[in-house]
Amino acid sequence: MHLGRVTHRREHRHGRAGRNNRGPHERKPRYEQYCVVCHGPRGLGDGPTAKATTPPATRLPAPDVRNKTDQDLLAIIADGKGAIMPAWRGLLSDQELQNVLAYIRFLGG
Ligand code: HEC
């Protein structure tokens, strides 16, 4: 797959950069494309539209989010939540859903 090939090239160039070091940067693009506008660059709920929506975009590093399982979060991202949080299934592939989830986990520290 396309993303896979990009990953491989970088792996070769950086030699010993481990999987974990590289991960977040590989996973960022979709988040920046689709999620930043509401959730903000650091997931703090401070994107351009965040304050304009009711409810406001969730702070993704919050304990309430961290404590949810991968499965719960994937379901929310795929199917949406409430009136504002869109459903992303179909627009994002399963792999991309996994990637944005991983990126949210990274933001959450
Ligand atoms: C149009 C604004 C908007 C966009 C774009 C958006 N979100 Fe959200 N998101 C929200 C709002 C608002 C909520 C709170 C929903 C609620 O509780 O009713 C939310 C909630 C969430 C939650 C749930 C947190 C929890 O604990 O319940 C996750 C996870 C999430 N968003 C991830 C994402 C991801 C990943 C993307 C990009 C693929 C994204 N969001 C794009 C507005 C947005």
Q: Please give the single-letter amino acid code of residue 37.
A: V
pLDDT digits (tens, 9 = 90+) for 66-89: 999 999 999 999 999 999 999 999
| Separation of alpha carbons 20 and 56, rounded Å | 31
> What pLDDT is stored for residue 109 in this prediction?
62
Q: Which of 28, 30, 36, 38 has the most ligand 1 atoms within 8 A of CB, as the residue to mutate?
A: 38
Average pLDDT, the chain: 81
Domain boundaries, the chain: 23-107
Burial of 84 (0-12, 13-18, 19+ CB in 10 A): middle
CB atoms within 10 A of CB 34: 17
Strand-pairing partners, residue 85, are 81
| Domain 23-107 belongs in CATH node 1.10.760.10 | yes
The ligand 1 atom at the shortest distance from the C-alpha of residue 82 is 18
User: Residue 92 — pLDDT band, cuts 50, 70, 90?
Assistant: very high
The ligand 1 atom at the shortest distance from the C-alpha of residue 34 is 37
| Separation of alpha carbons 109 and 104, rounded Å | 9
Taking alpha carbons only, the member of 106, 95, 74, 109 closest to residue 30 is: 95
Q: What pTM was estimated for this model as a whole?
A: 0.81
